[in-house]
Structure 1
């Protein structure tokens, strides 16, 4: 059982009223990007080393199993995509209308994928169809792909600096967006992971965590982040009540001559596309790092674009709730 596609076939054919644990032996697995659409509502599907027990730390396993991107047989180029792209099932399948997916990832290493590591996409236009909101501007997701765990993972050598190509290349399109990307995906726990060397040659786009489009109540806690060539944390479009706490940031990002500037936490709102501001997000108790490229100084903490602590977003967006602001920061230190 050497491919996640085969694992998904077995999970789909098995009893639906039980948790599933996929145990992976130490070693390097050359694996093309996977699209996952199989779930067991009310139960979990876990991917972990064969010698790992939940609750144990890295010393409890012999080694992290490594998933390394495959190359196309003709061009020998790395295949485009995320290591693991999860989206709701087809009509009639479990979670066809979204819900709690219960995917859990523990102590694996993911490397050489152009788009990123794990993408959890609960939107209406998911599974490769492009983003299509499941609800109106500023309204919580009507679908979602929620309740997942990413713990103890190592994401490294992601983005086109390692896979070749370029974000705007007409004949070799490769662009990194995030080690973990959440799109209409809420109530996730991303904790105790290492994000190391996530780079595009353009020094743009890619993030350690990209929380976008109605992704709320997520926790990004106790992670180590270094060598990311764009903002390590990015939030976008009505993604509320997210917590980024007690993370350690090394050297990340680069000096920009354009707006928005390089920062640890960026919220960017495209109001012309109907996007709304997020609110009640917290960036706290983090150990901050310096610029990766262009300066020996500190990387600033946060930036809201457009500015305004209570600015709601585009013209169709609801006002922020009373006494709410877009971001709270506290106790971040260099």
Structure 2
């Protein structure tokens, strides 16, 4: 145990017709959209018998629906093979939930017949897996809801996501989030002026993410595929990420990819009671003004790191001064089961590192000082 506050203070359903179990009754005031791997995207998705097949069609139906209702996307067990989607459709003040069609709120996995599987598609010509995340959610298009960011209310329950190159789920509220790379929306060290906030990820299984499974490499311009995380948060705050499994997230370079990557002004996120195994870089990485995040009661299994420089750890916070990044502060890494990690010498993996070092280091010269009494990391009760 270490307390560091004193130191730092695959297959489509083989059916000729759509066959479904009886779903829960649709809630009043909710738009329900049904998906089935044997569905038809020319349909309206309003009933199990008119289920649609793709998230592309689901987004069209959400965009066409009433803004004053929650959405439930009820997904029948099966394998949905498709490249990732950019999601830009929201219902301000309401939620959009993706879940198995037999899921009841509050129940565990035992009440679900099988997890629906979302599997990346291969390009028709080369046969290579297509790059990108399963869902890259970013603010709405100009003139559409949440064009300037805000509370997006996306919720994901008990689905399996596999064979995506860059991430399973990317929640990105930055100014350049839907193309053109990261562009911060506010001055260094200040909270995001946009954000894509208030989402829930619960009971999910993310597996075989990264170029070790999709081919390519992070540095090959002719076949560039690079995994960054099971979940990547960029200017995305107040998210609940709980009770998920992160299994086999790897790049062939044994670098970059993490179970959770919290970056660029992503604050007050909760990463709780998750299970992580088979990750080729730090399970948790935090970067650039991402504050008050909590990583607690997680179980980190044997991940098989092989990279020694920089040394692997469970939790890494990093600052790039040249990019005018600022330190993060008041992040808590506590009560985690660290498992047994074998690195070069056979030693356990260290708990944490912050770079550059310094409990109150602020980051680039343009950054504000940390608030009085704050430190970059609080750790307690992590055990091997």
TM-score by length of 1: 0.98
* Structure 1 match to 2:79: 28
Separation in 2 of the partners of 1:251 and 1:164? 23
Check the 8 A contact 1:208/1:233 in 2, yes or no: yes
Correspondence for 1:78: 129
> What's the CA shift for 1:296?
3.2
Superposition pairs of residues 213-292 of structure 1, within 5 angstroms: 213-252=264-303, 254-259=305-310, 261-291=311-341
Report the Cα distance in structure 2 between the residues aligned to 1:273 and 1:181, rounded to whole angstroms.
19
Q: Does 1:153 align with 2:230?
A: no
Residue 8 of structure 1 pairs with residue 59 of structure 2? yes
Per-residue deviation, 1:2: 1.1
> Could you give the per-residue CA deviations for residues 186-234 of structure 1, whole angstroms, max 9, x where no partner exists?
0000000000000000000000000000000000000000000000000
Residues 277-317 of structure 1, C-alpha deviations (whole Å, 9 max, x = no match):
00000000000023365453211110001100000000000
**Within 2, Cα distance between the matches of 1:222 and 1:185?**
20
Aligned-residue Cα RMSD (Å) equals: 1.0
Report what 1:191 is aligned to.
242
- Structure with greater strand percent: 1
Native 8 Å contact 1:227 1:252 kept in 2: yes
1:60 aligns with 2:72: no
Matched with 1:135 is: 186
Partner SS for 2:289: coil
The answer as to whether partners of 1:28 and 1:68 remain within 8 angstroms in 2 is yes
Deviation at 1:255, TM superposition (A): 4.4
Asked whether the equivalents of residues 308 and 344 of structure 2 are also in contact (C-alpha less than 8 Å), the reply is no
Structure-1 residue corresponding to 2:352: 302
Normalising by structure 2, we get a TM-score of 0.85
State the alpha-carbon separation in 2 of the partners of residues 5 and 333 from structure 1.
44
Q: Does 1:114 align with 2:165?
A: yes
Give per-residue Cα distances to partners, 1:54-85, cap 9 Å, x unaligned.
Answer: 11111110110000000001101000000000
> Structure 1, unaligned stretches of length 5 or more?
none
Q: 1:313 aligns with which of 332, 357, 363?
A: 363
The count of corresponding residues between Structure 1 and Structure 2 is 333
Q: Secondary structure at the match of 2:57?
A: helix
Gapped regions of structure 2 (runs ≥ 5): 1-51
CA positional deviation for 1:274: 0.2
Contact persistence 1:253–1:263 (CA under 8 A)? no
8 Å contact from structure 2 (residues 343, 349) kept in 1: no
